[in-house]
Amino acid sequence: MSRARRPAEETDVFDAIPPQLLLTLLVLSPGCVFLGMALLWLSGVKLSENTIARLANATYVFCGALVMGLAGSLWWADLASVSAGSGNWYEVHEFQIPLALFVDRLSLPMLGLTAGMTGLIAVFSRRYLHREAGFLRFFLLLHLFAFGCFLVFAAGSVDLLIGGWEIICVTSTLLVAFFQQRPEPVKSALRVFATYRGCDIGIVTGAFFLHHWAGSTLYQSVFKGDWPRQSLAGETLAAGDATIIGLLLLLGAMGKSAQVPFSGWLPRAMEGPTPSSAIFYGAISVHAGAYLLLRLQPVLVASPVASGAVVLIGALSAVHGTMVARVASDVKTSLAYSSVSQLGLIFVEIGLGFSWLPLIHIVGHAVVRTLQFLKAPSALHEFHHLHAAAGGHLPPTGAHYGRLLPPRAQLWLYRLALDRGHHDAIIDRFLTGAPRKFAQWMNRIERQLRLTPKIPKESSHG
C-alpha cells in the first residue's frame, strides 16, 4: 500500500516532523481527549467547566495548527497527497482492512473546516451551555464527533471512512437526544438513528462490493492520479459494477446529507442545543455525504447511470428543500430545509463531474449556514430592526405564487410543501410499514405462545 507514497527523505525541510506524523496526530488528538475525559469522568473525577473549555480550546488550536502544518508540508514538498499506514485493522486470508490515513487536496480543506468549526463551536458552547447539567456530556460528544469527522476525511480507504461515519452517526443521535428527560428529543433521535442506519446499508454493501470487485477499498489502489484528476486505476471496475457501487454509495450519502426522500430527519434533529445543530446540520455532518461522493467520484464518472442518479436526487432535493423551507414558519426548520436544497445543488455539481466547485460550495455553505444557525435565536430582534429600517413595509414575499399559479394548484402545492412532500408518510407506510407489521405480528405470536416472561411493571421503568 505504500506504492504511491513518495519517500520521506525527499521532504528534507520537514524531516523533523514528517507529515505522516502530523496526520496521525491530527486524527488521534480529539479521540485521545475524548478517551481521557471519559476515563476521568468514569473514575469519578469532576472536571470544572473551565478545565473542559480550556482543554477543548487547546485541542482545536492544536488541530488547526496541525492542519496548517500539513498544508505547509504538502505545499513545501510539492506533494499532492500524504498517506500514513500502520498495518491492518483486520485480516483474513486475502481480505484486509488496512489502517491507512490519507490526505490530499480534497480532504485537507475538509479537515481544516472541521478543526476550525469545531473550535468555534467549542468556544460558543462554553457560554451557551454554562451551568447545563450535560455540559461535560456535550463536550465529550463534540470531541468524539471531531474524531469521527477527522477519520472520515482522513481515511485512506472506504472501510476506515465507515468507522468515522458510524461515530458521527452515534454522536449525532446522542446530541439530538441531549435533553433526554423529555420524550420528544429521544423519539426524534431514534428517527435520526434509524434513517442513518437504514442508509448505512448502502455504504456498507457498497464497500463490500468494492472489496469484491476491485480487490481493495484503498483509494490509492482503486484510483490513480491526484485529486481532482483521479480516475479508476486500470480495469478494476466494469461499468455495471461501478453503477451498483455508485448507487449504493449514493444511498449512504443520501441519508447523511438528508436528501430526498430521507430529509425528514433533519428538522427533527433540531431538538438538540443550538450549537450542536450548527456544527452537525449546518457545518460538517450533513456535508459528509457530499464528501463521500466527491471522494469516490471516479466510480461515479465510470457509470453514467450512477452519475445521473446523483444529479436526479440532488435536483429533486434542491427543489424539495427550497419549497419546504419557503413554507416553514419556524427558524430552525427553515434553515434545515435550506441546507437540504443547497446540499442538493452540491450533489448535482458532483454528479455533473465538477470537483472544485462542489468543494468550494461545501466550505461556503458550511460557513454561511453555521452563522445562520448560531444567530437563529436572534430572529425576532433582527426582524424587528429590519422591519423598522424598511419603514414598516417589507416587500411581500411569496406573492408570485399567487400570480403564476391558479388558486387550486397553489393550494395543492402549498399542501405538498407543508407536509414536506409526504415523505415521512411514504417512508413510514411503505418502506418501514411491512417490517414493522411483521415485527408486530411476531410479537403477537410470541405473546400467544406466552413465551415472554411476565415483567413486573415497576422494573420496566428502571
Partner 1 sequence: MQAQHENSAQLASPSEEARSLRLKHALEHAAHLLPTQGPIGVFIHHNTLHAFQHLPFEKAIGEASSIFGTEPYMAEEAYRQCLARGRILEADIWDVINREENEVILPGRLDRRTLRGILLLRGQASFDAATVDWVLEETGILESGGHALYAICLKLAGQDRTAAPSHPGRPVGLPRLGEVDLDEVIHPLLIRLAAVFLDQGVAYWPMPNRHKGFLGAVRDAMAQRGALFPEYLEGLDAAFREQLERGSSAEEVVIEVLAQLGVPEEEWESALAGELLALPGWAGTFHQLEINPGLFPYIHLPCSLLEFLAVRLTLKSAAALGVARRLGMGAEEIRQARNVRELAAPHPAQGRADALALWDALGRLGVAEPDLADWNPTLQRRLVHEIQEFNPLERRRLLHLAYERRHEEDVLQAVAWHRREHPPVRQSVRPFADVFFCIDEREESIRRHLEEVAPEVRTHGTAGFFGVAMHYTGMDDAHGAALCPVVVKPQHAVHERPVSHHSNIHALRVRRRRTWARLLHHTSLFSRALVRGWLSTAALWPVSLFPLVTRVLAPRHYGLWTKALHRVWIPRPSTELAFERSESESITPESGLFRGFTLEEATDRVAGTLGNAGLREGFARLVAVLGHGSTSLNNPHESAHDCGACGGGRGGPNGRAFAAMANSPEVRGQLLTRGITIPADTWFVGGYHDTSNADITLFDLERVPLSHVPDLAKLREFFDAARAFDAEERARRFEAASPHGGPRKALLHVQDRAERLSEPRPEYGHCTNAVCIVGRRELTRGLFLDRRAFLVSYDAALDPEDNALARLLGAVVPVCGGISLEYYFSFVDNERYGCGTKLPHNITGLIGVMNGPASDLRTGLPWQMVEVHEPVRILFVVETTPARVMKVMSANPELAEFLENRWIRLATVDPGTGDVHVRRGDGWEMLSPTLEALPSVKISADWFRGKIDHLPIAHVAGPTSRRGNGRV
Interface positions, 27-56, toward partner 1 (CB under 8 A): 49
Is there binding between residue 58 and partner 1 (CB under 8 A)? no
- Least Cβ distance, residue 328 to partner 1 (angstroms): 6
Contacting partner 1 within 93-152 (CB under 8 A) = 120, 123-132
CA distance 223 to 457: 58
Neighbours of 240 (CB within 10 A): 11
* Region of 2-10, 143-151, 193-201, 358-366 interacting with partner 1 (CB under 8 A): 358-366
User: Which of 215, 225, 304, 377 contacts partner 1 by CB under 8 A?
Assistant: 377
Is there binding between residue 398 and partner 1 (CB under 8 A)? yes
Output the CA–CA distances (angstroms, integers) from residue 106 to 43, 88, 385, in the order listed. 40, 24, 41
Question: Helices (DSSP H) in 155-269: which residue ranges?
Answer: 158-176, 183-214, 219-222, 239-256, 265-268
Of 206, 195, 196, 190, the C-alpha closest to 168 is 196
Q: Answer for the pair 362, 257: CB distance below 8 angstroms, yes or no.
A: no
- Least Cβ distance, residue 414 to partner 1 (angstroms): 6
User: Which of 147, 332, 347, 351 contacts partner 1 by CB under 8 A?
Assistant: 332
Contacting partner 1 within 409-438 (CB under 8 A) = 410-412, 414-419, 422, 424-426, 428-429, 433
Nearer to partner 1, 389 or 449 (CB): 389
* Region of 25-33, 99-107, 235-243, 333-341 interacting with partner 1 (CB under 8 A): 333-341
Nearer to partner 1, 45 or 425 (CB): 425
Is there binding between residue 387 and partner 1 (CB under 8 A)? yes
Is there binding between residue 376 and partner 1 (CB under 8 A)? yes
User: Which class for 322: exposed (0-12), middle (13-18), buried (19 or more C-beta within 10 A)?
Assistant: middle
Contacting partner 1 within 291-330 (CB under 8 A) = 318-319, 321-322, 325-330
- Least Cβ distance, residue 236 to partner 1 (angstroms): 33
Is there binding between residue 401 and partner 1 (CB under 8 A)? yes
User: Which of 211, 256, 295, 369 contacts partner 1 by CB under 8 A?
Assistant: 369
Is there binding between residue 195 and partner 1 (CB under 8 A)? no
Return the SS3 of 185.
helix
- Least Cβ distance, residue 267 to partner 1 (angstroms): 4
The one-letter amino acid code at 151 reads L
CA distance 78 to 320: 43
Nearer to partner 1, 148 or 185 (CB): 185
CA distance 171 to 174: 5
- Least Cβ distance, residue 104 to partner 1 (angstroms): 22
The one-letter amino acid code at 178 reads F
Q: What angle do CA 199, 158, 114 make, to 5 degrees?
A: 85
Q: Answer for the pair 369, 335: CB distance below 8 angstroms, yes or no.
A: yes
Q: Answer for the pair 275, 56: CB distance below 8 angstroms, yes or no.
A: no
Q: Which three cell numbers stand for residue 439?
A: 415485527
Rg value, the chain, Cα: 24
Nearer to partner 1, 256 or 420 (CB): 420
Nearer to partner 1, 89 or 124 (CB): 124
Nearer to partner 1, 301 or 368 (CB): 368
Contacting partner 1 within 266-285 (CB under 8 A) = 267-268, 270-275
Of 15, 110, 55, the C-alpha closest to 361 is 110
- Least Cβ distance, residue 98 to partner 1 (angstroms): 35
